[in-house]
Amino acid sequence: MQMDLFFSLINNPMIPWGLALSILLLALSIWGLFRLTLARFERQLFQAQQAIDKIPPSEFINHYEILNEQLQKNPLLAQQWEAFRKTLILPKKPREPIFYTHRPDLYFNETTLIAPRLNLRLYQSAPNIFVGIGLFFTFIGLVAALWFASQGVAAPDIEKAQQALRDLLHAATFKFITSISGLIASIVFSWREKVQLHNLQEKFHIFCHSLESHLTFITLEQVNGAQIEESKRQTEQLERFNTDLAASIANALEDKFSEKLAKAMKPLSVAIDGLADRVGGMNQNALERMVETFSQHLQNAAGEEMKQVAQALEKLIPTLGELRQQFDMSGVDFGSRMTDAASTLQQGFNHAADNLLERMSATTAEINQTAAQELQRVGEPLSALLTAMTGLKQGIDESSNHLRTKAQDAGAALGLAGEKLEMRLSSASQQLATQLTDAADKFAIVRTEMSEMSGQTVEMFKLSLKQLGNIQTQLVETGAQLTLVGQPLSETVQALNLTLNNVKTLSQSMETTVNTLQAVSTSSSESLNSTNKTVEQVWKKYQSHFEKVDEDVAKVFQELSKGVDNYRQQVESFTQKLDESLNNATKSLSSVIVELMESIEDLNNTSAKEKK
């Protein structure tokens, strides 16, 4: 009974058309929902498209932040725009373009924008569903047709058979109408769905093209190439920096250290030269004048007084010999101390240079582990630095040798002066004169000059110490600047600090030398004072014996002064007469010259007229 009721419904002529209409309405409703969703997506995409098109490509960088805010608020594009924005390379300068490294269609397409928000698989399978529904009702109609056919075959009379045949035709109609409606819905829906998705894809393509027109494309290969070029430039800059650094270190050490050392040593050398020249010259000149004076006045002395003077001179000779020995010892001691100071300075700079080379070698070995190619080029500046340090060492050696030579020359000059003094005094032991007072004055002058020279020498040494202190300060500043270059050069700064300590040691040794020189000067002054006192005592002892000789000499000088005055007056009168004669001759010559000039002018005028 239930089967009869069910098949009787199918046998109703309106049922197939109702089912076909239902299939079409279902397809239309699904299409409407699909179309409304796509329309919302198209509207959101159109808003983003308008926001981009309003901005000129040249002004895109200025409006980038505003566009970024708008796209981040866009429901369709916000997520993918955030991902795409991370691939952009924003410029650091206002007029530079924005670079993008990935195509926008990788982020803005159907798969990334539509598929997460719309079940495309469902809508794409809707045509198959419509065909399936039509086939489902078709098979139901086929079953109904078979059932009606079986009823007609089993009918006992013709009317039932005809009724069964009519029901079979109704079932066939049911079967084919539902299939046709399902196929029509499937074909139309599939066609429109593909058209709409294609149009949306075109709009995505237009959006991506508009976005690309406002940006500048750069591939990852180009970025890598630019990075390689930048690395090459940085490598070149680093190489030049290392070369310039080593050269600047060498130049700084050579300029600031060598010049300062040369300037510091130059006053010392000049002072030593002046000391040797002045001591030798003054002693020699003073002694020569004293001996000549002695020899001139000793010619007027005779008898027992000469013998007594000879005895006094014999007593004076050992004292002067001791004085010569003290000068010799002082010169030798000064020369040895200068030699020690020079050797100490040389050793200090050699040690500093060795430490510096060792530190630089250690630094080179460390850097070689990380940048072998760069250190090969840094080797040349280091060689230049080594050459500069070697030249500095040679300059110091030359300065020390020069100082040693000057000290030896000074000692030799003092020894020669002492020998000449001894020879002069030995030869003048028989020719003593009455001018011992002048000799005492000469000794006092020599003593004063020696004291002044000692003071000047001490000032020179103090100036040298100050300059060494300035060198020390500059080396400290150089060390501070080298500290800023980097950690690998800190050990080099330590080596320079060791050099500063050596310079301090040298300064102390120079101070010791100055103190020794002061002691020598003091002992020399004391020796001169004792000699002066001895001479004064000899003079006081024998002054009474030579008063008459002084009177005779005074008379001789008075006569000589009168003769000189007469001679001067005669010369003045002769000069006046000669001036008058020359004036007269000049006046006569001037008149003759005027006449000659007039004659020459007349001759010129005559020759000019003849030429015309």
pLDDT in tens, 361-392: 565 566 556 545 544 554 454 455 445 445 54
* Beta-ladder partners of 217: 100
Same domain assignment for residues 331 and 378? yes
Same domain assignment for residues 355 and 494? yes
* Beta-ladder partners of 88: 100
Same domain assignment for residues 381 and 450? yes
Same domain assignment for residues 203 and 267? no
Same domain assignment for residues 423 and 313? yes
How many other CB atoms are there within 10 angstroms of residue 130's CB atom? 25
DSSP letter for 503, please.
H
pLDDT in the model for residue 603 = 72
Same domain assignment for residues 129 and 252? no
Same domain assignment for residues 211 and 312? no
Same domain assignment for residues 213 and 250? no
Mean local confidence (pLDDT), 95-121: 89
pLDDT in the model for residue 381 = 47
Q: What amino acid is encoded at 511 in this protein?
A: E
How many other CB atoms are there within 10 angstroms of residue 186's CB atom? 21
Burial track 282-295 (b if 16+ CB lie within 10 A, e otherwise): bbbebbeebbebbb
What CA–CA distance (Å, rounded) separates 601 from 424? 73
pLDDT in the model for residue 29 = 94
* Beta-ladder partners of 216: 99
- Boundary residue ending a domain (552, 581, 600): 552
Structural domain harbouring 423: 241-552
What CA–CA distance (Å, rounded) separates 464 from 261? 9
Same domain assignment for residues 189 and 61? yes
What CA–CA distance (Å, rounded) separates 104 from 322? 107
- Boundary residue ending a domain (516, 535, 552): 552
Q: Is residue 158 one of the residues assigned to a domain?
A: yes
φ and ψ at residue 46, rounded to 5 degrees: -65, -40
Structure confidence at residue 151 as a pLDDT band (50, 70, 90): low
Q: Is residue 368 one of the residues assigned to a domain?
A: yes
Same domain assignment for residues 265 and 357? yes
Q: Is residue 566 one of the residues assigned to a domain?
A: no
Mean local confidence (pLDDT), 264-278: 60
Mean local confidence (pLDDT), 131-152: 75
pLDDT in the model for residue 519 = 63
Q: Is residue 610 one of the residues assigned to a domain?
A: no
Out of 70-74, 108-112, 175-179, 327-331, pick the least confident. 327-331
Q: What 3-state class would DSSP assign to 435?
A: coil
Q: Which helix (H) or strand (E) holds 195?
A: helix 158-213
How far from the centroid of its chain's Cα atoms is residue 217's Cα? 38
Q: Is residue 333 one of the residues assigned to a domain?
A: yes
Average pLDDT of the chain, as a whole number: 68
- Our count of domains for the chain comes to 2
Q: Is residue 536 one of the residues assigned to a domain?
A: yes
Same domain assignment for residues 351 and 444? yes
What CA–CA distance (Å, rounded) separates 578 from 571? 10
Q: Is residue 535 scored above 60 in pLDDT?
A: no
99-100 and 216-217 strand pairing = parallel
Same domain assignment for residues 185 and 317? no
Q: Is residue 100 one of the residues assigned to a domain?
A: yes
Q: Is residue 595 one of the residues assigned to a domain?
A: no
What CA–CA distance (Å, rounded) separates 28 from 185? 8
- Boundary residue ending a domain (182, 217, 252): 217
φ and ψ at residue 61, rounded to 5 degrees: -65, -30
